[in-house]
């Protein structure tokens, strides 16, 4: 029998120690923190190589969950319609185009609480076909039930994305329809199936610095930590409860990336949602602070992402190469 891997509990002493460390790092002078992060980064990665993933929303809108940041919740009025699942050929065409533009991973997202058995079948087919193109595959479909992670793995899935989103004690301010433990349970299923874990969170939702430390500590306490750690800046969408939240100062975002890099030295830290609203100089600082992955392509799930030509120009200006 496979060994069951138990993730650290939200309140364990190891998590608390990591949280104290994350907080102390966040409190450092900016230059000291970024220098430390870049030093750790160079010990583990080529500092000039950035991995690129392309996202596609395969099932958009109409989600029953109440995540306060999300334009796809049926409970908010962000103007995102409930659409049917995309047909297989459209998904494969989009993945092929992403590959031609230079993405190495294709991430398929669905606005579900979790997939029903009949929902999963067409997704398995998408995973098989995208995998055949020679791309790494990733899915983000919500909570998984017993056996579903194995089904995805057997279809050829490499990564499953499921975010903790924020610190445990702030979580209830943002989402009420599922709890933190539900998320940890899904992550445990993903890990036990042998899939690589993509797990991160969102900053700029009105949380405190201490709560940002809490999020990073939760991620770093996973054993092993997630292979991919997306750090999203809240994209404020009119009609969602979190629209109008005071924007996070840019230096605080860079600090969060730096602490993720230091506490998860061998993970890919992804500078994720929010780049459209972020000055390129700030993105450059994120790379300096140890971010080594981005979402690449004009769209995230429902909101915009920088144009490919613009990202290509940014890579050229910084001498970055695609991993
Ligand atoms: N429905 C599935 C779930 O929630 O697990 C998968 C898709 S969901 C849109 C994936 C992730 O996108 C969320 O966990 C959240 O971290 C991120 N996200 C959603 N809306 C966002 C926003 N407005 N700004 C930043 N990140 C966002
Ligand atoms: C992640 O952490 N960020 C991505 C991906 N995982 C699925 C999603 C960002 C969504 C931003 C809002 C939207 O475009 O709907
Ligand atoms: Fe639904 Fe996922 Fe959006 Fe939450 S984040 S409302 S679960 S699509």
10 CB within 6 A, ligand 3:
no
Say which ligand is closest to the CA of 178. Answer: 3
- Say if residue 235's pLDDT is above 50: yes
Q: Residue 6: which pLDDT band, with cuts at 50, 70 and 90?
A: low
Q: What is the pLDDT of residues 59-87, one digit of tens each?
A: 999 999 999 999 999 999 999 999 999 99
286 in catalytic set = no
Rounded Cα distance between 297 and 312, Å, is 11
What's the whole-number mean pLDDT along residues 295-318? 98
Amino acid 2: pLDDT: 43
Q: What is the DSSP string of 275-292?
A: GGGS-HHHHHHHHHTT--
Amino acid 7: pLDDT: 55
Rounded Cα distance between 232 and 203, Å, is 6
Say which ligand is closest to the CA of 69. Answer: 1
pTM (2 d.p.): 0.96
User: How far is CA 124 from each of CA 134, 139, 155, 250, rounded to the nearest angstrom?
Assistant: 16, 10, 6, 39
Q: Residue 49: which pLDDT band, with cuts at 50, 70 and 90?
A: very high
Amino acid 10: pLDDT: 64
Amino acid 9: pLDDT: 59
Q: Average pLDDT, whole number, for the chain?
A: 96
Q: Per the structure block, which two tokens stand in for 268?
A: 């890919």
User: Which member of 23, 52, 63, 255 is catalytic?
Assistant: 63
Q: What is the pLDDT of residues 150-162, one digit of tens each?
A: 999 999 999 999 9
User: How far is CA 225 from each of CA 185, 198, 242, 273, 320, rounded to the nearest angstrom?
Assistant: 15, 9, 29, 21, 26
Look at 9 and 321; give whichever has higher pLDDT.
Answer: 321
């Amino acid at each position: 029998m496979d060994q069951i891997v138990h993730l650290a509990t939200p309140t364990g002493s190891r998590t608390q120690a990591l949280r104290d460390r994350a907080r102390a790092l966040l409190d450092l002078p900016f230059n000291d923190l970024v220098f430390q992060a870049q030093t750790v980064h160079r010990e583990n990665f080529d500092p000039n190589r950035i991995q690129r993933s392309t996202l596609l929303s395969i099932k958009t809108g109409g989600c029953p969950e109440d995540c306060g940041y999300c334009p796809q919740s049926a409970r908010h009025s962000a103007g995102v319609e409930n659409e049917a699942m995309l047909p297989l050929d459209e998904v494969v065409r989009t993945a092929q185009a992403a590959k031609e533009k230079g993405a190495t991973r294709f991430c398929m997202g669905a606005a579900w609480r979790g997939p029903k058995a009949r929902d999963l079948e067409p997704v398995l087919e998408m995973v098989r076909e995208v995998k055949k193109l020679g791309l790494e595959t990733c899915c983000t479909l919500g909570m998984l039930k017993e056996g579903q992670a194995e089904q995805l793995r057997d279809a050829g899935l490499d990564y499953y994305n499921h975010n903790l989103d924020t610190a445990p004690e702030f979580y209830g301010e943002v989402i009420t329809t599922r709890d933190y433990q539900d998320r940890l349970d899904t992550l445990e299923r993903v890990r036990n199936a042998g899939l690589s874990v993509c797990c991160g969170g969102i900053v700029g939702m009105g949380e405190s610095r201490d709560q940002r430390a809490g999020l990073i500590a939760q991620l770093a306490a996973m054993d092993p930590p997630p292979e991919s750690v997306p750090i999203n800046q809240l994209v404020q969408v009119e009609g969602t409860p979190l629209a109008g939240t005071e924007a996070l100062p840019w230096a605080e975002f860079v600090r969060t990336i730096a602490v993720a890099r230091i506490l998860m030295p061998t993970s890919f830290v992804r500078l994720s949602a929010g780049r459209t609203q972020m000055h390129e100089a700030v993105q450059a600082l994120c790379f300096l602070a140890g971010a080594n992955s981005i979402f690449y392509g004009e769209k995230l799930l429902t909101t915009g992402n920088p144009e490919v030509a613009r990202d290509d120009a940014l890579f050229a200006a910084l001498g970055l190469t695609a991993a």
